[in-house]
């Protein structure tokens, strides 16, 4: 029983990271109908920025918050300087996907050149404490991570459904041309969307680093693959879906690897993706995704 509880929390811990990164992917997708393959590397880059601040003497929590702000600015500037020139949501999606993959490589190598490719040490953001839960020792880190995730999901749900900015983001996604015709400043709105996504991503990055106790240039790559799986599972247009999808994939991976002998750590990626495949066969739009409706 203790081992089971332990594995559940390990799964939730990994899943929460995928969930946060998936949330970033979903925010960009909802705001602009695009996929940003550099989302993970952006998170890695801002995590190095956080590490640099830590190295300069700031406490880790302050560095995390500041790097989130830096992430917002990088995301917004990236949209304005790069994606707008490629036509934004109205541009050729393939060209934009290729550019985000290029950005992936640039950020990865760039971080290596600036900060070196050896892992740098970072502390746990919520400290090393543990609490007893049903006989298992659960780290304060996991509880803090899940709390941050809950705040993010509620916050973004409210943002999209209850605020004028959320309405503008949804309108721009739905019909960019009409959005301009109702007076929405499309470019500024999308800059905010990309900025928010990069900010959420940097939270995923600093938490990953907190969990690994180190930051290195390749730390977000597997997480990005899981995050795409999570967004697919939950539904690309649903923030709640992204989070539920991330948690499910984290849990399933951890439990299957833990309890099914033939699937060892080498096949760690397999169970999550089999699950995604099965769900998509039954429900192509994902668990919480909305099916496209259009009546001619």
Partner 1 sequence: MTALAVRDVQAGYGPVQVLTGVSLDVSAGEVVVVLGANGAGKTTLLRAISGMIPVQGSVQLDGAEVAGRRPEDLLRLGVAHVPQGRGTFNDLTVDDNLRVGGFTRSADEVAADAERWLDLFPRLRERREQLAGSMSGGEQQMLAIARALMSRPSLLLLDEPSLGLAPLVTRDVFDSIQSIVAELGTGVLVVEQNANLALGIADRGYVLETGTVVSSGTAAELSADDSIRRAYLGV
Using CB under 8 A, list all residues that contact partner 1. 164, 167-168, 170-171, 173-175, 177-186, 290, 292-296
Report the distance separating Cα 100 and Cα 35, nearest Å: 8
Q: By C-beta, is 90 or 213 nearer to partner 1?
A: 90
| Cα gap 267→281, rounded to integer Å | 22
Q: How far is the CB of 82 from partner 1 (least distance, A)?
A: 21
Q: Name residues whose C-beta falls within 8 Å of residue 278's C-beta, 6 or more positions apart in sequence.
A: none
**According to the 3-state scheme, what is the secondary structure of the chain?**
CHHHHHHHHHHHHHHHHHHHHHHHHHHHHHHHCCCCCCHHHHHHHHHHHHHHHHHCCCCHHHHHHHHHHHHHHHHHHHHHHHHHHHCHHHCCHHHHHHHHHHHHHHHHHHHHHHHCCCCEECCCCCCCCEEEECCEEEEHHHHHHHHHHHHHHHHHHHHHHHCHHHHHHHHHHHCHHHHHHCCCCHHHHHHHHHHHHHHHHHHHHHHHHHHHCEECCCCCHHHHHHHHHHHHHHCCCCHHHHHHHHHHHHHHHHHHHHHCCCCCHHHCCHHHHHHHHHHHHHCCCCCCCCCCCCCC
Q: Return the number of the residue (112 or 166) whose C-beta is nearest partner 1.
A: 166
Nearer CB in complex with partner 1: 118/295: 295
- The residue among 91 and 110 lying less far from partner 1, judged by its C-beta, is 91
- Identify which of residues 52 and 180 has a Cβ nearer to partner 1 in the complex: 180
Question: Which CB atom, from 153 or from 179, has the smaller least distance to partner 1?
Answer: 179
For partner 1, the closer of residues 178 and 212 by Cβ is 178
Distance of closest approach, residue 188 Cβ to partner 1, in angstroms: 10
CB of 156 to partner 1, least distance (A): 17
Minimum distance between the CB of residue 32 and partner 1, rounded to whole angstroms? 14
The distance of closest approach from Cβ of residue 204 to partner 1 in the complex, given in angstroms and rounded to an integer, is 27
How far apart are CB 241 and partner 1 at their closest, in Å? 15
Residue 119, sorted as left (phi over 0), alpha (psi -120 to 50) or beta, turns out to be beta
Beta-carbon-side half-sphere exposure of residue 208 (alpha carbons within 13 Å): 32
The most distant pair of C-alpha atoms in the chain lies apart, rounded to whole Å, by 61
The minimum distance between CB 288 and partner 1, in angstroms, equals: 14
**Residue 15 or 241: which CB sits closer to partner 1?**
241
The least CB distance from residue 175 to partner 1, in Å, is: 5
């Amino acid at each position: 029983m203790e081992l089971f509880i332990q594995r559940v929390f390990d799964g939730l811990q990994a899943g929460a990271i995928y969930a946060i990164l998936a949330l970033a992917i979903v925010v960009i997708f909802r705001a602009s109908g695009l996929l940003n393959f550099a989302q993970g590397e952006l998170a890695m880059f801002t995590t190095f920025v956080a590490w640099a601040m830590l190295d300069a003497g700031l406490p880790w929590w302050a560095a995390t918050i500041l790097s989130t702000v830096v992430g917002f600015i990088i995301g917004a500037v990236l949209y304005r300087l790069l994606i707008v020139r490629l036509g934004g949501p109205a541009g050729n999606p393939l060209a934009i996907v290729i550019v985000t993959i290029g950005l992936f490589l640039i950020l990865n190598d760039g971080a290596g050149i600036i900060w070196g490719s050896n892992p740098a040490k970072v502390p746990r953001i919520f400290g090393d404490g543990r609490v007893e839960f049903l006989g298992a020792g659960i780290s304060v880190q996991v509880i803090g991570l899940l709390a941050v995730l809950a705040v993010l999901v509620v916050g973004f749900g409210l943002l999209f459904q209850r605020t004028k900015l959320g309405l503008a983001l949804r309108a721009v996604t739905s019909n960019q041309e009409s959005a301009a015709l109702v007076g929405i400043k499309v470019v500024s709105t999308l800059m905010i969307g990309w900025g928010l996504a990069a900010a959420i991503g940097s939270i995923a990055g600093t938490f990953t680093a907190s969990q690994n106790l180190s930051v290195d240039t390749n730390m977000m790559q597997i997480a990005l693959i899981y995050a795409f799986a999570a967004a697919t599972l939950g539904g690309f247009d649903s923030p709640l879906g992204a989070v539920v999808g991330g948690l499910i994939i984290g849990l399933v991976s951890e439990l299957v690897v833990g309890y099914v002998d033939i699937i060892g750590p080498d096949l760690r990626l397999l169970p999550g993706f089999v699950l995604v495949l099965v769900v998509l066969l039954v429900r192509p739009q994902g668990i919480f995704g909305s099916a496209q409706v259009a009546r001619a």
